[in-house]
Chains A and B, each alone.
Chain A
Amino acid sequence: MRRALALCALAAALVSAPAVAAPSPADLEAELVCPVCGTTLDQSDAPVAQRMKQIIRQRLAAGATEAQIKAELVDQFGPGVLAEPPKSGFDLLAWLVPLAILVVGAVGVGLAAWGWSRRRGDGEPRPRAELDPELERRVDAELRRFDS
């Protein structure tokens, strides 16, 4: 009985598991840039952007994948047509430089915090400044007078 229930649960999970969704024109239009106006296709009504949207729909209907469509458009208009720079070659720097700045910044802040905590929490009580004996005597006298 338990085995049957487990199998049913597994079958239900498999059925309900999301399939790899086919790209929609809207997804691609948000990831591609109009080569004339420089905004993403979904934000552009320029004639070339309208033509690109039309081509994207035609290629999707013909069964082309997102990667194929992007590669075809890059072949026509160059890599500048991609809203995000490619994660390879020189363009990889666009991804790595901000990450490197973030890591260097985090290490810098960490080191600074470590330095401050060491300075504040080294456990050694600071030596009290020596009071002038005359002043100490006067303070004691004042305190006694205050207590009485």
Chain B
Amino acid sequence: MTRRLQRVGQAIALAGVGTLLGLLVWKVAFDDQNGAADRLARGELVHAPAFALDRLDRSGTLSMASLRGKPLVVNFWASWCGPCKDEAPFLQQTYERYRRQGLVVLGVDVKDFREDARRFMRRYGITYPVVYDGKGSTIGRWGLQGYPETFFVDRSGKLVGERIAGGVDIERNRETFERGIALALGDTS
């Protein structure tokens, strides 16, 4: 009886160790920690991760799939983020300047209160589409590391140019921003 009990105990312990080992192998082998931003930085061809989120600028949802064929500037922001306030007027100007060429600036409000976000949009006169991601479901797949962050997507849905981490700034990254827009629009000259 005791020997059988010992064997059962040993089997349970071995099963536990095996399960933990399996989880470790799975985590190392299959769990892709690198979001789109990291793969883009390594020079890989990356499609913009899909999402379908509620809109803040009007009712309904907006998905990446519905924007296929349009060049995009995807800006992740939150109302409590300081640099997001600084760049908001510039993003609105960008939208107004390039919208005739089909460019869409898409705001993704992350980890924020809906009402705070709407107040922010009114304050800065934002008229481009904005979706709400309070739960942060886009963070991992896009590889966000902070707020704001800006990506460029071409008409085929691929990420182009460089990810801009931090506010879009005239002195610091204006050139990167303009190049991202040119690549998204398909201007490779």
Question: Which positions in A face B, CB cutoff 8 Å?
Answer: 35-36, 47-48, 50-51, 55, 76-78, 80, 104, 108, 111-112, 115-116, 118-119
Contacts and interface: CB of A to CB of B under 8 A. Distances in A.
Contacts of A55: 113
Given A35-B136, A51-B80, A76 B2 contact: no
B9 A48 contact: no
B86 interface: no
A76 B81 CA distance: 17
Query: Interface SS of chain B: helix, strand, loop or mixed?
Result: loop
A77 B1 contact: no
Nearest to A76: B134
Nearest to B134: A76
B58 interface: no
A48 B134 CA distance: 11
B80 A112 contact: no
B113 A51 contact: yes
B178 interface: no
Contacts of B114: 76
Contacts of B9: 108, 112
Closest 6 pairs (CB-CB, A-B): A78-B135, A47-B80, A115-B2, A76-B134, A35-B111, A48-B80
8 contacts: A48-B112, A51-B116, A76-B114, A104-B12, A111-B5, A112-B5, A115-B2, A118-B2
A118 B116 CA distance: 69
Given A48-B80, A77-B136, 9 more contacts: A35-B111, A36-B111, A55-B113, A76-B112, A76-B114, A78-B135, A112-B2, A112-B9, A115-B2
Interface residues on B, range: 10 to 19
A119 B5 CA distance: 13
Contacts of A115: 1-2, 5
Contacts of B112: 48, 76
B36 interface: no
B130 to A, nearest CB: 16
Contacts of A78: 134-136
A48 B5 contact: no
A47 B111 CA distance: 11
Contacts of B113: 51, 55, 76
Interface string B62-100: 000000000000000010111000000000000000000
Most chain A CB inside 10 Å of its own CB: which residue of B82, B112, B135: B135
A48 B111 contact: yes
Interface in B121-136: 134-136
A124 B9 CA distance: 28
Nearest to B135: A78
Nearest to B136: A35
A17 B22 CA distance: 54
A56 to B, nearest CB: 12
A10 to B, nearest CB: 48
